[in-house]
Amino acid sequence: MGRFLSLEELIPIRNTLRYEGKRVVFTNGCFDLLHRGHVEFLNRARSFGDVLIVGLNSDESMRRIKGKNRPIVPEEDRAFIISNLVAVDYVSIFKEDTPLSMITTLLPDVLVKGADWGVGEIVGREVVESAGGLVASIPLVPNRSTTDIVKKIVKDFRDSE
């Protein structure tokens, strides 16, 4: 099971992992209403290295990106859930709209995002590649998204009235 830590707490851990020659993978996202697509994505991301660090959008960051009705699940709960998945070693919340500062600080060996992001659009790509790291895009699980779940809940709720 993983751990939920601040970026400041992760820095010495990352330095130790680098010294030990461990390959560190980083990904990020909102992970609101955790579903199969999220879990399969995180499992695949972990397969790129020895340790998986997940940057998690804060509630404020998520509201700016996804709108005033999000998140559905608060950041503390999302962090707890994600950090307890087998594939995840560490979770850290970031308040900015992108994880660029976190990526620059941790300098992962591998940066992974879902295929809804083209490799050229992945935030932090330049930082990781310039350090000799790999940037990868993983195919998404079809028909599995938080948006689809929310739409179904709203439709089912309206149909039941």
pLDDT tens-digit map of 41-72: 999 999 999 999 999 999 999 999 989 988 99
Query: Residues with Cβ < 8 Å from 116, sequence gap 6 or more?
Result: 140
Residues 6 or more apart whose CB falls under 8 angstroms from that of 106 comprise 7, 10, 11, 14, 24, 26, 53
Is the pLDDT at 145 greater than 80? The verdict is no
Residue 1 has pLDDT above 60, yes or no: no
Task: Decide which of 35 and 44 is more confident.
Answer: 44
The whole-number average pLDDT for the span 86-95 is 97
Name the β-bridge partners of 111. Answer: 26, 135
13 with 100: CB under 8 angstroms? Answer: no
pTM equals: 0.90
**Mean pLDDT (whole number) for 6-30:** 97
CATH architecture of 3-160: 3-Layer(aba) Sandwich (3.40)
Lowest mean pLDDT among 45-49, 110-114, 153-157: 153-157
Q: Which stretches of 5-136 are DSSP H helices?
A: 7-19, 36-46, 59-66, 75-83, 100-106, 125-130
- pLDDT for res 116: 85
> What pLDDT is stored for residue 149 in this prediction?
66
Return the pLDDT at 59. 96
